[in-house]
Amino acid sequence: MEIRDYELFEVPPRSLLLKVETSDGLIGWGEPILEGRAQTAAAAVRELLDTYVVGEEAYEIERLWQKMYRSGFYRGGPILMSALSGIDQALWDLKGKSLGVPVYELLGGKARDQIRLYAHIRGETPTETAEDAVKRVEEGFTALKGAPGNRDWEHLDAPAVLDDARTHVGAVRDAVGDEIDLMLDFHGRPSKPMAKRLATALEEFDPMFYEELVVPEKNDVLPGIAARTDIPLATGERMYSRFDFKPLLEAGAVDVIQPDVSHAGGITELRKIAIMAEAYDVAVAPHSPLSSVALAACVQVDACTQNAIIQEQIVHEDRVPNYLTDMNVFDHDDEGYIDIPEAPGLGIDVDEGYVREMATEDAWDAPIVTRRDGSITDW
């Protein structure tokens, strides 16, 4: 079964979908996006497919992965690994469909019957965020993630800023109670001193974990922050291979890693990262703020991975288009759990007609965020 052709579709809210076709007419789907850099990712996808994949045997996923990763001499990074990730997802989808089994069956079989999803919460004020949290709980989610209020922190900020964060998170905790898991996402914006202060200031609300207190370039400061707090630390959405995760795991500072199946080498590499993390007693909560295709790829890895604990998703939000013919595969119960899918490949059926219709939308651009003095900060 040879790879014969492919097609790319840039679709909202910020996705790039890849369709790969084989010599016997099978179609596989992947999501090789680099958010805000869709055309850059698309160029890399075409280059990798045309150079290393088209005309090759579709079953040889590991060989093709290694060829795409090693043969270009310059390895890794967000562009190449995001492109490789979506191709890898499509190859696994094809192989599963060809053999008539879900991808997780090809990776050792199920380790669980269900995986819990979490929902995002938003709001300009503590009251708005608390109201959104209550709405999500009423929808059946028992785990929520949101920002700790305003994230436009200065390098060294005033005590009032910490009070604002406590007010914001406290409003959510009061609204949903102690039985709901609450994750706080800092998006890497705090400086080292502010990360330390925020980690201490928000402990009283007992979050499930702190996500990306600092950007990956500052991962060396995480052991010091971990020594100051009992709250688990999580990071990894902007890390691109097991080689990136190796020093993080060896440092022993994080309790949860969050590799992204569309950036960290696809299903093949996500599985290897997760297995490596298990040896360090570190849990996996795959990052997935993308479409149902990327989510489906994550769930396949969750299914066969012992240390997977929870799954990010945005497909249950009103602003996200549904690119599947049947979204029931992601129906959750009243605690936010979904059943592991049993259909072949990624376990989904992509609505190609709708993908083509939506592919006329304008590209999504990452925001430019500035501090009060006009200096640029992380978004």
User: Which residue numbers are catalytic?
Assistant: 187, 287
Q: What is the DSSP letter of 29?
A: E
Adjacent-strand bridge partners of 21: 5, 27
Report the SS3 class of residue 185: strand
Handedness of CA 251, 252, 255, 260 (dihedral sign): positive
Is there a contact between 16 and 41 (Cβ–Cβ < 8 Å)?
Answer: yes
Say if strands 369-370 and 181-185 run parallel, antiparallel, or are unpaired: unpaired
What are the tokens at 279?
A: 């040896």
Which amino acid belongs to residue 107?
L
Tokens for 103?
Answer: 């991808």
The answer to whether residues 341 and 299 touch, using CB atoms and an 8 Å cutoff, is yes
Rounded-to-5 percentages of helix, strand, coil across the chain = 40, 15, 40
Residue 366 DSSP one-character state: P
Query: Residue 244 and residue 271: Cα distance in Å, rounded?
Result: 14
Q: Check residue 177 and give left, alpha or beta (phi > 0: left; psi -120 to 50: alpha).
A: left
Q: How many Cβ atoms are within 10 Å of 151's Cβ, its own excluded?
A: 18
CA distance 330 to 336: 10
SS3 241: coil
